[in-house]
Amino acid sequence: MALSLDRSKASAGLPKGLVKFWQKQGGNIGLPILGLISFLVVWQVLAWTKILALPGPIEVLANERSRYLIFHPFYYNSDLDQGLARQTFISLTRVAKGYIMAAIVGIGLGIVVGTSPKVNKALDPIFQFLRMVAPLAWVPIALAALRQNEPAAIFVIFITSIWPILINTAVGVREIPQDYKNVARVLKISKQKFFLKILLPSALPYIFTGLRIAIGLAWLAIIAAEIVMSGVAGIGFFIWDAYQQNYVTEIIVAVVYIGAVGLALDRLVAFIQTKIAPGN
Q: Which residues form the domain of 215?
A: 71-276
Cα separation values, 254 from 42, 67, 83, 206, 227, Å: 20, 12, 10, 33, 13
Residues 77 and 29 in one domain: no
In a domain, 264, yes or no: yes
Residues 75 and 133 in one domain: yes
Residues 174 and 244 in one domain: yes
In a domain, 27, yes or no: yes
Q: What's 235's domain CATH number? A: 1.10.3720.10
Name the more confident of 14 and 96. 96
Number of domains in the chain: 2
Residues 190 and 99 in one domain: yes
Residues 127 and 250 in one domain: yes
Residues 77 and 42 in one domain: no
Other beta carbons less than 10 A from residue 89's beta carbon: 17
Report the mean per-residue pLDDT for the chain.
83
In a domain, 220, yes or no: yes
In a domain, 59, yes or no: no
Q: Is the pLDDT of residue 198 over 80?
A: no
Residues 42 and 168 in one domain: no
Nearest to 235 by CA among 131, 13, 68, 82: 82
Contact 235/258 with Cβ under 8 angstroms?
yes
Q: Is the pLDDT of residue 263 over 50?
A: yes
Nearest to 143 by CA among 158, 129, 128, 153: 153
The band of 10, judged by pLDDT with boundaries at 50, 70 and 90, is very low
Distance CA 168, CA 267 (A): 19
For residues 238-262, average pLDDT? 89
Distance CA 153, CA 232 (A): 9
Instruction: Using CA atoms of 164, 169, 171, 174 in order, give the dihedral in degrees to the nearest 10.
Output: -170
